[in-house]
Amino acid sequence: MEKNVTGMDELLAGYAAGTLSYPAQALVGAHLELSDQNRGYVSSLESLGGVSLSDADPVAFNDRDSMLSAIFSDDTPLSNDNAPLAQDGTNVPHSLQSIVGRSMEGLPWKTLLPGVKECKFGEIDGCASSLIWVRAGRAMPSHTHHGTELTLVLQGGFSDEDGHFVSGDLAFADGDVDHKPIADEGEDCICFAVTAGRLELTGPVGRWFAPFMR
């Protein structure tokens, strides 16, 4: 599980306050769907935020009746980020479906290295998001970050210098981390990653492959 406690706490606080970039907000929401590890903490933060709002002076807004009418006439069901995944054949958490789609089938995967594929979804709010697929037992090149990298395990698991991460786990890395993730044996590892800043390959093999990866 994560060792960067300060960075993780700041990330969860940003999610509760709604201040993260759109891809990071979606990633943390998916983490809360798949794992109960941080649900209580986030719920407490959201409750504290509600108390702060209740203590604030009321602010008038225009056209109150029309706004209330629109809210109560909306037939869209309310979402619950902490609810388990729907058993409807989808293999993507609800929070990620606006970026990834309902299924990973048919996605335009691109081979980066032998045993490593990526599907990019472009840049939103200054952050790049992608799916990374690593064949069971294969290693990613050693790398560090000029910025931050958030990684959510969707299938399988991987190990690096910070520990062992399995489905639902969230890993946080920044410029202080130089790591070499290795996928678990027995099952391919698929992760959703959000990066702010450039990734830098650090090992000799990684530096040789660098021109082909980005």
Q: What is the mean pLDDT of each run of 10 residues along the chain (214 residues)?
A: 66 93 96 93 82 46 46 39 38 94 93 91 93 93 75 94 91 72 94 83 54 45
pLDDT in tens, 59-72: 444 444 544 454 34
The Cα-based distances of 183 to 34, 117, 151 in angstroms read 19, 13, 13
Percent helix / strand / coil, the chain, rounded to 5: 35, 30, 40
pTM equals: 0.73
The count of C-alpha atoms lying within 13 angstroms of the C-alpha of 65, restricted to the half-sphere facing its C-beta, is 0
Residues in CB range of 12: below 8 A, 6 or more apart = 28, 38, 41, 42, 45
102-213 adopts what CATH topology?
A: Jelly Rolls (2.60.120)
Q: Which helix (H) or strand (E) holds 116?
A: strand 116-124
Give me the phi and psi of 12, to 5 degrees please: -65, -35
Look at residue 138 and give its three-state secondary structure. coil
Check whether domain 5-97 has CATH 1.20.120.1200, yes or no: no
Domain assignments of the chain as residue spans, ordered by start: 5-97, 102-213
